[in-house]
Chain A
Amino acid sequence: MRTKEECLIRYKDGNLYCELADIWIDPSKPVKKALITHAHFDHFTFGCEEYISTKETAILLKERVGDNIKIKTFEYGEEFKINGINISFYPSGHILGSSQIRFIFAEEKWLISGDFKLQKDQTCKQYEIVKTDYLISECTFGLPIFKWDESNKIANDISKWITNSPEKTSLLFCYSLGKAQRLLNEISQTNFKGNIYSHGSIHKMNNSYRELGIDIKDTIKIENKKKIDELKGSLILLPPSLSKGSYLKNFKNIQTAFASGWMSIRALRKRSGYDKGFAISDHADWDGILEVVKKSEAKNVFFHHGDSDALSKYLVEKESINVLLFGK
């Protein structure tokens, strides 16, 4: 087994780092060069000298944080070289523009899965199976109790939830980027034909998606002074940060729900404080992670993001796959 220093990619100061290329992956503090897998804020930090990402990720990031950052972009599958290391992006199916990143050096392949899902999502490119020797995978939902339903089933449940209470305003909380657009896309294919409003942060992302050629239903930007009667029977998409505190006082006679993979567990659903939970996620479920591990043909696997003890033990015992520990 190799020492930490001998690995092409390793943990340094809590972040993924490739020393030979002197490049960081989704770093949490300012560095010289940063590869960005996707435009969620927990994968981005201000102050890096240079960012490298897919074209879509770059556009979404600039929309969110302003034009004041220097981003170099590459297409999916396009190879580029840094210090003799071949690097390329592949679709990870998480949100629009999200990518896996593959490194090849001295015929050895390393793959960082990024945040990924295998489920169908009409708002972004499908996950692409990439072969590798070393796999660094996320493990957010690394237990077999997580098994996602088809997203159209969830969308139908949401539609029923709204139409069953026509006298109420239905507030659906979800992440502004990715989840909201996927839900909009799915909900527009259900029987629910009422008005859909969205919070400014979501509205902005909807527009960006549309400009990038994704089919997203037009929503009405929610204004604070909307008349209560007009909202009856309609759906409002809001970011989770607004679920607590005074914002909800703007509405009367509401029902609330949260769209997240964690909502598949009753105890978490009850504790969340929302009336209802819809278990839909942009991360892979247990089977999804296993499939990627197997199809990537990786002989060595590392996990980060989430509690990977059970998954690691399972792979070692049942699949005889070498699971390595990253020293954080």
Chain B
Amino acid sequence: MSLKKFSELFGDLDSINSTNNKIEVLKNYFLSNDPIDNSWAIYLLTGKSNKRFISGRYLKNLFSQIYEYPEWLIDTCYLKVGDSAEVITLLLKNKTNSRKKKLSNIGLNELLSETIPALSKLNEENKNLEIKNLWETLPEDNHLIFNKILTGTFRVGVSIGLITKSISKLINIEEEIISHRLMGDFKPSIDSYEFLINKNINLQELNSKPFPFLLANTIEDKIFKNSINDFQFEWKYDGIRMQLIKRSGNVSLWTRGQELVNESFPELVEKMSHIKDDFVLDGELLVWNFKEQIAYDFSLLQKRINRKSPSRSIQLKYPIIFIAYDLLEINGRDIREIKLENRRIELEKYFSKWQNKTENNISDIFKICDLIFPKNWPNALTYKEKSRENNTEGLIIKKKTSIYSSGRKKGIWWKYKVDPMQLDAVLIYAKGGSGRRAGLYTDYSFALWKDQELIKFASAYSGLTNIEIKELDKWIRKNTIEKFGPVRSLKPEMVFEISFEKIQKSKRHKSGIAVRFPRITKWRKDKKINDADSLENAYELMKKIS
């Protein structure tokens, strides 16, 4: 089957806004293409293939070299387009239309399983020649797909959820089963596609795979009308949400992003494998301060995530813990359908059983989450406010009678996050956005006062409405002091309320502070720049929190 069909699918999905129509288009694609191409399509569309064969910069340089285009011109085009793969695709239209070479009719499977992987084995000269050859022989409609796969930037508005729904419709099997089959490592092959569309549900094949995660919704006021006794309260930790699975002796650690991360946390895998029971636990992985029994900052956990087979000293420097929230399966028995309060009883029962085994002390790496028992809703609020003291983000509130379904199910789990910290800051730099925001100034830097000087303290990209972005873009163009490549320095005039999650000391920044998840929460048109906060205010905020 040709690459053309997939390019068409990409184009269709890109230009359809309605979810139902997208599902219909996907279903028809699956019906009319080979299993192997279908498996590649799923692999690409769900973003499981973010491997980068070459960088966007490399692609641009190569184009510049082959077609004698000045690099500055390509960079100028990039500012308008916001995606290297697309810039090169558009520029290629100018170059390959007069070609004489015979067009290749390569299929999706061949391109992805042979041609592209073979590229990485070539030396630079041959690699460049081969890419040039592909540019010249691939039909024009396929250039975007090809360049996007090369640069690992294949993203389109298709979620796993959409794929799940369309396969579910295709074979008439519940979405839960499909999303279960789609979890984790999906290797494109005829087998994997056929497994996906198999009408017989085979539990054994599903053995190592996690359950779809149940997610919490942002709190709604209506919850306060209910009795506080209907809910279970937990701290909301800022770590990596995970399922810890042990089945038939094998332990697997799956993140919510569907990555198998056993190799990053071998000490946990090792400890858990000695437990006699089989289980599936839902919980959070954290770097833990065992002395004070609180979590360390997320930045320490980042030092562990991407490091495979960490040394003993790394393991000691960044000690991890798995905090279990929930028990989903025990010794082959799926208990997701029983009430949360009863699952909690089971969890506590098994935890005390495992803990009492002296030959395998798990308490240095595993615990179950402590529950909080507020007496009433105002009391719950007080707990929430205290959450910064123990390095959590607030509370998770779960209905005691809830079963463990999948996705962001309404009305059973809520997150009650602590209010963000805020400072009013002055806009001083703007940079062109990329992707959908190309051609607009959407990346902003903000500053606080230090005596008479404005010092940059945070950059933020999100929080403004599209209308505000356009308005601000116009203002930026009129109030530029200097241009440095894509960045403009601006007349200090605009004040914004910046919210963030965390504030801490940082030697890397001139301001001496670093904030986490900064975002714009209000355009303070009512404020003059002299009303903006000072670094002094930021330091005070930091003191108050620690």
Which residues of B from 7 to 40 have beta carbons under 8 Å from A?
Answer: 14-17
Docked-complex contact A145 and B90, CB < 8 angstroms: yes
A276 to B15, CA, bound (A): 5
Q: Is B397 positioned at the interface, with any CB of A under 8 Å from its CB?
A: no
Docked-complex contact B73 and A267, CB < 8 angstroms: no
Q: Which of A84-92, A194-202, A310-318 is near enough to bind chain B?
A: A310-318
Give the contacting residue for A310; candidates B15, B76, B97; CB below 8 A. Answer: B76
Q: Is A271 positioned at the interface, with any CB of B under 8 Å from its CB?
A: yes
**Assuming the A-B contacts A264-B90, A267-B437, A287-B94, are A314 and B16 also in contact, with contact meaning beta carbons closer than 8 angstroms in the complex?**
no
A268 to B437, CA, bound (A): 8
Docked-complex contact A143 and B93, CB < 8 angstroms: no
Determine how close the nearest CB of chain A comes to the CB of B146; give it in whole angstroms. Answer: 15
For residue A268, which residues in chain B have a CB less than 8 angstroms away from its CB?
A: 438-439
Docked-complex contact A147 and B90, CB < 8 angstroms: yes
- Closest B-chain residue to A161, C-beta based? B15
Docked-complex contact B80 and A265, CB < 8 angstroms: yes
For residue A309, which residues in chain B have a CB less than 8 angstroms away from its CB?
A: 76
Docked-complex contact B77 and A275, CB < 8 angstroms: no
A20 to B329, CA, bound (A): 91
For residue B14, which residues in chain A have a CB less than 8 angstroms away from its CB?
A: 266
- Closest B-chain residue to A287, C-beta based? B94
For residue A270, which residues in chain B have a CB less than 8 angstroms away from its CB?
A: 436
- Taking residues whose C-beta sits less than 8 angstroms from the other chain, chain A's interface range is 20 to 34
Determine how close the nearest CB of chain B comes to the CB of A268; give it in whole angstroms. Answer: 7
Q: Which of B81-89, B360-368, B414-422 is near enough to bind chain A?
A: B81-89
Docked-complex contact A267 and B17, CB < 8 angstroms: no
Q: How many A-B residue pairs have CB under 8 A?
A: 64
For residue A251, which residues in chain B have a CB less than 8 angstroms away from its CB?
A: none
Q: Is A213 positioned at the interface, with any CB of B under 8 Å from its CB?
A: no
A317 to B93, CA, bound (A): 22
Give the contacting residue for A147; candidates B69, B80, B94, B436; CB below 8 A. Answer: B94
- Closest A-chain residue to B12, C-beta based? A164
Q: Is A144 positioned at the interface, with any CB of B under 8 Å from its CB?
A: yes
Q: Is B512 positioned at the interface, with any CB of A under 8 Å from its CB?
A: no
> C-beta contact mask, A250-272 vs B, less than 8 Å → 1, else 0?
00000000000000111111110
Docked-complex contact A265 and B76, CB < 8 angstroms: no
For residue A277, which residues in chain B have a CB less than 8 angstroms away from its CB?
A: 15
Docked-complex contact A145 and B80, CB < 8 angstroms: yes
A215 to B14, CA, bound (A): 35
Docked-complex contact B80 and A286, CB < 8 angstroms: no
Docked-complex contact B72 and A313, CB < 8 angstroms: yes
Docked-complex contact B436 and A271, CB < 8 angstroms: yes
Q: Is B91 positioned at the interface, with any CB of A under 8 Å from its CB?
A: yes
- Closest A-chain residue to B140, C-beta based? A149
For residue A143, which residues in chain B have a CB less than 8 angstroms away from its CB?
A: 73, 76-77, 80
A277 to B82, CA, bound (A): 18
29 A-B residue pairs with CB within 8 Å:
A143-B73, A144-B69, A144-B91, A145-B77, A145-B80, A145-B87, A145-B91, A146-B90, A147-B90, A147-B94, A265-B438, A265-B439, A266-B83, A266-B86, A267-B83, A267-B437, A268-B438, A268-B439, A270-B436, A271-B437, A271-B466, A275-B16, A275-B17, A309-B76, A310-B76, A310-B77, A313-B72, A313-B73, A314-B73
Residues of B participating in the A interface, judged by any CB pair closer than 8 Å: 14-17, 69-70, 72-73, 76-77, 80-83, 86-87, 90-91, 93-94, 97, 435-439, 466
Residues of A participating in the B interface, judged by any CB pair closer than 8 Å: 143-147, 264-271, 275-277, 286-287, 309-310, 313-314, 317-318
Enumerate the 10 nearest inter-chain pairs by beta-carbon distance, A residue then B residue, closest first: A145-B90, A267-B438, A147-B93, A276-B15, A310-B76, A145-B77, A147-B94, A270-B436, A267-B82, A267-B436
Known: A275-B16, A287-B94, A313-B73; 10 extra A-B contacts, CB below 8 A, are A143-B76, A145-B77, A145-B90, A145-B91, A147-B90, A271-B437, A275-B15, A275-B17, A286-B94, A314-B73
